[in-house]
Amino acid sequence: MRQGIHAGRAAWAVVPAAVALAHIGPAATWLPELRRRRFPGLAGRGSAGHVALTFDDGPDPVSTPRFLDVLDGLGVRATFFLLGENVVRHPATARELARRGHELAVHGWAHDGPWLPSPGRDARELARAALVVGEAAGREPFWYRPPYGILSSGRWAAARRAGLRPVLWTAWGKDWRADATAASVRATVAADLGGGGTVLLHDTDHASAPGSWRSALGALPDLVGDWRAAGLEVGPLREHGIPGTDAAGTGAGQPEEAPAPVA
């Protein structure tokens, strides 16, 4: 995941400093402590007695059904942030997510980073992704999480135009790494998560180390057990009670404005 961030550095050599700051400045919200303190809604901070469980990068016809079976066994529903290109490739898997009661959200069209300003492309691709995700879900999606958690000004604007609310995460499992294990995912999530938090995991290795999804899959029963032992409910973002959303998790009005660049 971090490799994708590093890959964009060379692109900045051809972008004037003022343009680059305006484009990428809002992406400072990627920094966990900054968004927790100043943008709790973007960090996925919801009701204190609830944990929002989310997955990125799917759907995948091999790995995603395994997560569905484990989640069924645990009696848990989650939010899956889907890539438009994967929905088109695997429409039956996407529809199965919705059929089993999970919430479908938008992760963009492809797993790329917004290294150079391209607001027109951002708007077109996000609208296209929202359309195919909505077709699979049978309802318009509400949430948007960009690849790598990088929200450029163009992607903020594209989300607003598409009627999507950006949300990142409070804790992640670093389950994309080649050395990730079920134990490491559990410990990494526990280090940053409390009641009201949003957890980021991956149900596929689409943009991760090959086979790394097994670490998240193996960690799921213990993670859910830990949360329930702490008296926390587990569910999708639509049940998380993030300020500005209604009881159905669909919100009222357009997403908030992009944060100003942070000095």
Task: Please write the tens of the pLDDT for every residue from 54-108.
Answer: 999 999 999 999 999 999 999 999 999 999 999 999 999 999 999 999 999 999 9
Choosing from 102, 107, 111, 202, the catalytic residue is: 202
Tokens representing 197? 């938090």
Average pLDDT value for the chain: 86
Say if CB 193 and CB 170 are below 8 A apart: yes
For residue 117, the model assigns a pLDDT of: 58
Q: From the CB of residue 62, how many other CB atoms can be counted at a distance below 10 Å?
A: 11
For residue 112, the model assigns a pLDDT of: 83
Choosing from 23, 50, 56, 60, the catalytic residue is: 56
56 has catalytic annotation: yes
Name residue, tokens 């992640």.
Answer: 172
Asked if pLDDT for residue 128 goes beyond 60, the answer is yes
What span, in angstroms and rounded, lies between the C-alpha atoms of 65 and 6? 32
Asked if pLDDT for residue 17 goes beyond 60, the answer is no
Provide the pLDDT confidence category of residue 51 given band limits of 50, 70 and 90: very high
Q: Which domains does the chain have, with CATH numbers?
A: 2-239 (3.20.20.370)
pLDDT digits (tens, 9 = 90+) for 20-49: 444 454 555 656 676 677 788 999 999 999
For residue 37, the model assigns a pLDDT of: 73
Say if CB 164 and CB 143 are below 8 A apart: yes
3 state SS of 222 = helix
Q: From the CB of residue 7, how many other CB atoms can be counted at a distance below 10 Å?
A: 12
For residue 244, the model assigns a pLDDT of: 78
Over residues 6-32, the mean pLDDT reads 49
